[in-house]
């Protein structure tokens, strides 16, 4: 398993690429926005000899899905996956993004809807899906027990949690989900966030003020 991190668009979304030994890979929130960012993603994939098998959105906010249409056009065989509860955000939220300079191109409808307990499999790898609503109704995180990491999207950050003042958000539901579903993971699990620096389950359990 190899993990890569690229940062895209004005909101500095952490886009992750998880690659299997055979070159198959999953693109997690590949939120490339500008022509330059799109070219950089294509060049990076080609330089590593990768074959995108999945496009996965951790949630449907426009800063995370702005690259969806481009990715599906470029790698048509990649299956697009997300949680059904965020479909409304993908279908209409992109229009709000136009106000902030994001491309007003409607994201495609996912090919696969993921839910708690599902897995995304490619090559020798398997990413476990954990549904943690609260930042958005359909927020999911992706957990790799073998790789000892979890990709949390905008659910959990270094020293913080996702915003809960947005449509469909719920603060108590988010905190409860983090405590019950994420803080129970091994403390040495690396946390790769949707924005900003990475952290660990142990560090957030000990120091995150929102989880006290």
Query: What is the Cα 201 distance to its own chain's centre?
Result: 17
Residue 198 near residue 158 (C-beta atoms within 8 A): yes
Query: In the block, which residue shows the tokens 């905190």?
Result: 175
Structural domain boundaries of the chain?
A: 2-211
Question: pLDDT tens across 84-130, in order?
Answer: 999 999 887 667 766 777 776 778 899 999 999 999 999 999 999 99
Question: pLDDT tens across 150-195, in order?
Answer: 999 999 999 999 999 988 999 999 999 999 999 999 999 999 999 9
Report the pLDDT value the prediction gives residue 172, as an integer from 0 to 100. Answer: 97
Name the CATH topology of 2-211: Metallo-beta-lactamase; Chain A (3.60.15)
Specify the pTM. Answer: 0.95
């Amino acid at each position: 398993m190899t993990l890569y991190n690229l940062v895209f668009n004005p909101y500095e979304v952490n886009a992750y690429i998880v690659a299997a030994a055979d070159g198959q890979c999953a693109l997690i929130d590949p939120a490339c926005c500008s022509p330059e960012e799109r070219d950089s993603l294509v060049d990076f994939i080609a330089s590593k000899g990768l074959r995108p098998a999945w496009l996965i959105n951790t949630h449907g906010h426009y800063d995370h899905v702005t690259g969806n249409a481009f990715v599906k056009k470029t790698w048509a065989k990649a299956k697009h996956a997300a949680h059904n509860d965020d479909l409304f955000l993908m279908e209409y939220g992109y229009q709000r993004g136009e106000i902030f300079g994001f491309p007003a191109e409607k994201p495609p409808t996912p090919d696969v809807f993921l839910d708690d307990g599902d897995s995304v499999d490619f090559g020798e790898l398997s990413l476990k899906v954990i549904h943690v609503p609260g930042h958005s109704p359909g927020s999911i995180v992706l957990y790799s027990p073998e790789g000892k990491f979890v990709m949390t999207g905008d659910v959990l950050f270094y020293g913080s949690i996702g915003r809960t003042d947005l449509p469909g958000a719920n603060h108590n539901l988010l905190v409860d989900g983090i405590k019950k579903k994420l803080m129970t993971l091994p403390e040495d699990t690396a946390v790769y966030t949707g924005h900003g620096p990475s952290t660990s389950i142990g560090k957030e359990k000990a120091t995150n003020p929102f989880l006290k």
